[in-house]
């Protein structure tokens, strides 16, 4: 299915364009956003700076936000392009946080419907949630996206920290290559 072009943009495309303009006008510390392709408001390139005083401090992490045509009724998907090691980020880089889960009840009972996607969320609120995820001293281990990372957090936190710090160093080196 083809996306609407920039010239014949739908209302959800216009909403995304406004959110991008707002982020460029008033950038927030810790991340930047831009379009992958200037003619497609549904694919965003994201750069996240590892939050200070966390395991991820000093890292420069690339990610992609992919918006469905039903945005803002349905949430976008976010996937890190930079390798990540975190219990709530799948091994393929897909981010598993409540506000990126489709609206409604959680069939497994882990999340309240109010924690899941709501159309009032913005790119800014998504990115702040991801920064909060990276900043948390205690990742959610109840329903991990990366079972191996969660197991390592539980059984050998020092090994987990070393692996994260290695990825952080590599991410910073690659960002400047």
| 9 alpha-carbon distance from chain centroid | 25
Of the candidates 100, 162, 155, 154, the residue with the CA atom closest to the CA atom of residue 130: 100
Q: Which of 96, 131, 134, 168 is catalytic?
A: 96
Tell me if residue 9 is catalytic.
Answer: no
Find tokens 């920039």 and name the residue.
Answer: 6
DSSP-derived secondary structure letter, 102: P
Asked if 87 and 78 count as a contact pair (C-beta separation under 8 A), the reply is no
Concatenated DSSP letters of 144-169: -SSHHHHHHHHH-HHHHHHHHHHHHH
For residue 10, give every residue at least 6 positions away whose Cβ sits within 8 Å of its Cβ, in sequence order, or none.
4, 69
Query: Rounded to the nearest 5°, which phi and psi values hold at 44?
Result: -115, 140
Catalytic residues: 96
């Amino acid at each position: 299915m083809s996306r609407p072009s920039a010239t014949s943009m739908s209302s959800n495309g216009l909403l995304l364009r406004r959110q991008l303009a707002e982020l460029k006008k008033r950038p927030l510390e810790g991340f930047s956003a831009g379009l992958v392709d200037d003619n497609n408001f549904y694919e965003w390139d994201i750069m996240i700076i590892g939050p200070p005083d966390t395991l991820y401090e000093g890292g420069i992490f690339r990610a992609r936000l992919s918006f469905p045509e039903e945005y803002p009724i349905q949430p976008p998907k976010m996937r890190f392009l930079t390798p990540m090691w975190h219990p709530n980020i799948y091994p393929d880089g897909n981010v598993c946080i409540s506000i990126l889960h489709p609206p409604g009840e959680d069939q497994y009972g882990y999340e309240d419907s109010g924690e899941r996607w709501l159309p009032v969320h913005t790119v800014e609120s998504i990115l702040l949630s991801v920064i909060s995820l990276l900043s948390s001293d205690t990742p959610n281990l109840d329903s991990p996206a990366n079972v191996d990372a969660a197991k390592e957090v539980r059984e050998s936190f020092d090994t987990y920290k070393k692996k994260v710090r290695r990825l952080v160093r590599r991410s910073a080196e690659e960002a400047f290559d």
